[in-house]
Structure 1
């Protein structure tokens, strides 16, 4: 596609010319995760020029396949803002029936001097492209301490709670209508408390719940000491069974299944030290696994396991945090420069630049993403449809 026919908010990377560079960004000196990088180029071959905290050319094409993801007229705009605290950080749970997205804040200290907390909010999604988004903080009953990632589950929402003090990390179910009543589904591994559950997804093949458990909560002072390795678990609520299904991570973070549920993607965000710094040489990697039935027996209800671990991709800016897949198998991750997108072969095909980066995001209506940027929520309108949005 000739560049002259591209929309004005789309830029292309000349891969042949950029294969050899004469200068390089100092990765170790990059701004801490989620802080503004709007005043400089994200890399030496991508132009990041901003106006009103939005990149003028936020859509970056590395491979022509990204044009099919974007469609003919992609749009990026700010739809919500809160300057008092980092209200939009993680989760992103789309509830189609109520047209609402539930999300969690980053950690902050309330003005009343109470211990640092994480707030849960919701934002209503308009039915029209020019409609108005409205967000509000909610109060789960009982409260969800230090919530992080989440997924829609049954008729409600399932949150990862990192725990605080003597209260262990847990998976907590919440009704999505007031008074937002909650119920703890799971808070230990056979008697050993979890570290700080971070992200969660449901495997549609059998309804099992898969979640990551890094030690960020311990590093950030929410909990005193970890009692388990940094690994990944699968919980079958029908049988009550809980298994460790993947290990060997520095800090497992985002988790998602492919659109056909044959592949599981798990991110390792060791490049984020948990205290706001970026470790240049640490893991910022997406690993892929095949999802297959256990071969240990011939039982018809044997569980699914992960095999054939391999590197799927490595993020060039920050680390891949939240992860989602579209209906064509493309893989999206929130990174320090925005959202990076790879095809199903692990080839970087494009980016959506967001000053200050994106921790997590979610697809809502077909072709709509909400990007969580700490003090802002961005809406991206493209052509691609999220794998969890099946209409």
Structure 2
């Protein structure tokens, strides 16, 4: 492990909390329950790890291939459904309802990851993995023709905010909400799509000024998280790479499996939870997530 001083406490190591997933994705710490909820996409189920007991359980199955999720301000969980091709909400009582599934007359592809903007709107990525990967959804076509990043709000509905990426995937905001980071996981060689994280300036309901923020050489940057100091923590084929707000690499944490996604949480909000291929892992840190 290479590390910037003070980001990882002395002696902290990556530890496996759960295994047995087919492809683990979309981790979320739910503080009111003291659990991590994550997706086993090909397994078509949502899993739970309980921090108090270390017990592992199935939260729900036959969930239509959920992927990324976020905690809304009302305590509900907003999640991406590949199978239903929609953004949906699960209330604390277990009720699941649709938020949005169409852009105009066209169905979405397969929403992948979602982030809460400072204004309370939801920004989510819409690549096509759920309609092109047999294990992750159902065969289908891109009805609107591309793969975009969308913004949804109750007042304004659904709008496209980023349309210049190949396969937008992970998404997260800077602490002040002025920048949104999006990963691209298109299959490509070199440092183009599939290996980069892009940054965009956010002006209310719009994004502009797209630019290269950082590249990942090992595998692809899938899910990302941003801490309170604006550092970007990215998944990769070999572990976790952490970048300064300026894009300089500060930290590398090797992982025993290909990392898909990550989130901060735990009793002190300083644990980094990591979904990697078949497993859920944790490493202690000295920081916490940026709050939208």
State the TM-score, normalizing by the size of structure 1. 0.69
Q: Deviations over 1:215-273 (max 9, x none)?
A: 11222132221112111100012x142110001111000000011111100111113xx
Q: What is the rounded CA distance, in whole Å, between the counterparts of 2:57 and 2:66 in structure 1?
A: 16
Counterpart among 8, 16, 25 of residue 70 in structure 1: 8
Equivalent position SS for 2:180: strand
Counterpart among 273, 281, 290 of residue 370 in structure 1: 273
- 1:197 is matched with 111
Counterpart among 119, 126, 131 of residue 45 in structure 2: 119
Q: CA deviation at 1:364?
A: 0.4
Q: What is the rounded CA distance, in whole Å, between the counterparts of 2:156 and 2:97 in structure 1?
A: 16
- 1:290 is matched with 201
State the Cα RMSD in Å: 1.7
**Would you say 1:341 and 2:262 are equivalent positions?**
no
May I ask how many residue pairs the two structures share in their alignment? 283
**Would you say 1:233 and 2:150 are equivalent positions?**
yes
Q: CA deviation at 1:175?
A: 2.2
**Would you say 1:169 and 2:85 are equivalent positions?**
yes
**Would you say 1:139 and 2:60 are equivalent positions?**
yes
- 1:214 is matched with 127
Q: Indicate conservation of the 8 Å contact 1:105/1:374, yes or no.
A: no
State the TM-score, normalizing by the size of structure 2. 0.91
- 1:4 is matched with none
Q: What is the rounded CA distance, in whole Å, between the counterparts of 1:329 and 1:203 in structure 2?
A: 15
- 1:12 is matched with none
Q: Which runs of 5+ in 1 are unaligned?
A: 1-58, 109-117, 127-131, 272-278, 294-303
Q: What is the rounded CA distance, in whole Å, between the counterparts of 1:372 and 1:93 in structure 2?
A: 10
Q: What is the rounded CA distance, in whole Å, between the counterparts of 1:74 and 1:358 in structure 2?
A: 18
- 2:29 is matched with 94
- 1:326 is matched with 227
- 1:280 is matched with 189
**Would you say 1:384 and 2:287 are equivalent positions?**
yes
Q: CA deviation at 1:76?
A: 1.7
Equivalent position SS for 1:290: strand
Q: Indicate conservation of the 8 Å contact 1:161/1:172, yes or no.
A: yes
Q: Deviations over 1:299-325 (max 9, x none)?
A: xxxxx2112111000111111100100
Counterpart among 40, 65, 81 of residue 19 in structure 2: 81
Q: Deviations over 1:67-97 (max 9, x none)?
A: 2211333232111122xx42x6111122111
**Larger strand share, 1 or 2:** 2
Equivalent position SS for 1:378: strand
Q: Indicate conservation of the 8 Å contact 2:175/2:227, yes or no.
A: yes
Q: CA deviation at 1:362?
A: 1.1
Q: What is the rounded CA distance, in whole Å, between the counterparts of 1:340 and 1:77 in structure 2?
A: 17
Q: CA deviation at 1:107?
A: 1.1
Q: Deviations over 1:319-371 (max 9, x none)?
A: 11001001111101111111111111101111111122210111103320111
Following TM superposition, the consecutive aligned residue runs of length 4 or more in structure 1 with deviations greater than 4 angstroms are none
Q: Indicate conservation of the 8 Å contact 1:213/1:253, yes or no.
A: yes
Q: What is the rounded CA distance, in whole Å, between the counterparts of 1:329 and 1:224 in structure 2?
A: 38
Q: What is the rounded CA distance, in whole Å, between the counterparts of 2:277 and 2:91 in structure 1?
A: 24
Q: Which runs of 5+ in 2 are unaligned?
A: none
